[in-house]
Chains A and B, each alone.
Chain A
Amino acid sequence: MRHDGRLAGYAALLAVPLAWELAVRAGLVSDQVLPRFSDVAATWWQLLASGELAQQALSSLGRQAAGFAAAVVVGVALGILMAHYRSVDDLAGPLVSMVLPIPKAALIPLVMLWFGIGDAAKTIIVFLGTILPIVVSAYHGAAGVDQVYLWSARSMGDREPALLWRVVLRAALPEILSGVRMGLIISMIVLVGSEMLAGRGGLGWLVFYTLDTGSYRVTYAAMLTIAVLGFAYDRLFLWASRRLLHWKESTA
């Protein structure tokens, strides 16, 4: 059953470019605003072959990876410390809950005002945009760790910080990973947004720049690339999380 469902999902995925191609060919949509899918695919292939696409994608992914990795490390550490130490919670809690509801896009102009429009600013935007769901999930994961785990570890001689590293982090991992996944998705959104607003280079810039110059085929090719990267990232995440949480799954 599961297998059939997956096939249906892929069939739906294929139906979109097909409908796109047919709609343009039939004249339902003007090819001025929506080039034929086949033309976009050809352009995509050219950009890929010339190395242009890889260059822009790498420039995007570099910023995204740096900002995201920093957000995971800082976010998980902060969430766990807040859950474990009352004083850290008192100190950082109000800040986190105040910043949390701010739309991530609103951070972009602010950070650019402070840090300019270079790589550093975009990395910081990714960091700020992704850290909060990670902090929140780490906090809840760590706060929900069963007391008997902590007591067992203490009776076997563990003290902080070993206790946090060996027990709290592992026990909270399933919840942490759900926040990390959300952060990963948000990181793509805020990164592309920040690239559209300012600076040169990156897939978001390519989309916006070619929109300006009227090379719509490139615009669509760049957008497709973003979609494919996002999908690949999510798959990669699921693969990694299955490996990290293999102890949870039943072998039965």
Chain B
Amino acid sequence: MKIVVRGLTKDFRDRQGGRTVQALSGLDLTVASQEFVCLLGPSGCGKSTLLYILGGFVSPTGGEVLVDGRPVGPPGPDRGIIFQEYALFPWLTVLENVMYGMRRAESRAARRARAGALIERVRLTGFEHHYPRDLSGGMKQRVAIARTLAHEPEILLADEPFGALDTQTRSLMQEELLRIWEADRKTIVFVTHSVEEAVYLADRVVIMTARPGTVKADIPVPLPRPRDYDRLVQDLAALELRAECWRLVKEEVLRAGADLR
């Protein structure tokens, strides 16, 4: 197993009241090497928190997180991350952003060549010297993907990366991500609140409960790859999976809503 999570708990101290809020409670999860797993759940269920713990950005309150059998360490190039806000450095060009995380051991010429190839892979050749301000949201996210692939992580963590994009761009980006992933299978943990996105992308959809988050259901997606979005829209098995996922998520959304009232 690439990633093993056992009995994970995370408490947050509420800023105003000072009372403790439990974000995650006794969460178990395993992710196999080269597996594409989507974390699906209502907003506030702690799915992003789980991702940040895997990334080493947030430390857990209790439980165990193992990557390659070792306790997860501080953030590092073995785990790449992409955010909904792209997080490109606005003071660097596309090329400089992509080269940012490359190891200094590599010669400059080699880094430059590899960056060029990555930029071509995300179909942005010709934009090497543009600044992020000149790019659309979809283009920015492609640069972010190239920048993450540049340091050759074994695990890719994605925090609702396409959540800020319009519908058309979003489905194009999903296709691109699958194309890239199918070429060199990294282990991907992908957070989303879109049922369609999860079923289209994942090998397994992990549905989380409302806060405190834990795993509600673990649903394999046995649809053949490479997947074609247009065909999947009419595929009966895919439709059934979506309906099943939506039913489970809906229960939790309603439960979270009931708590608020």
Using a CB–CB distance below 8 Å, which chain A residues touch chain B? Answer: 146, 148-149, 151-157, 166-167, 170-171, 173, 247-251
Most A Cβ at <10 Å: residue of B76, B147, B148: B76
- The answer, among A154, A156, A171, A247, for a CB contact under 8 Å with B131, is A247
Contacts A/B (CB < 8 Å), 27 sampled: A146-B85, A148-B83, A148-B87, A151-B57, A151-B75, A152-B83, A152-B87, A152-B89, A154-B57, A154-B76, A155-B76, A155-B77, A155-B80, A155-B148, A155-B153, A156-B147, A157-B77, A157-B103, A170-B91, A247-B90, A247-B131, A247-B133, A248-B90, A248-B133, A249-B133, A250-B133, A251-B133
Which residues of chain B in 41-79 are interfacial with respect to chain A, using CB atoms and an 8 Å cutoff? 55, 57, 74-77, 79
Asked if residues B87 and A170 are in contact (CB atoms below 8 Å), the reply is no
Main secondary structure of the interface of A (DSSP, over half): helix
Closest to B104 in A: A157
Counting contact residues on chain B (CB < 8 A from A), the size range is: 20 to 34
Told that A151-B55, A155-B75, A247-B131 touch, could you supply 13 new A-B pairs with CB distance under 8 A? Answer: A148-B83, A148-B85, A152-B81, A152-B83, A154-B75, A154-B76, A155-B153, A156-B77, A156-B101, A170-B89, A171-B89, A247-B92, A249-B133
For A171, the chain B residues whose CB sits under 8 A away are 89, 91
Interfacial chain A residues near B83, Cβ < 8 Å: 148, 151-152
A156 adjacent to B100 (CB under 8 Å): yes
| Set of chain A residues within 8 Å of B89, measured between Cβ atoms | 149, 152, 167, 170-171
Whether B251 is near chain A, meaning CB under 8 Å from some CB there, is no
B219 CB, nearest partner CB in chain A, Å: 29
Q: How many angstroms between the C-alpha atoms of A166 and B133 in the bound complex?
A: 19
Q: Which of B121-155 contact A (CB under 8 A)?
A: 131, 133-134, 147-148, 151, 153
A130 to B9 Cα, complex, angstroms:
49
Q: Chain A residue with minimal CB distance to B159?
A: A148
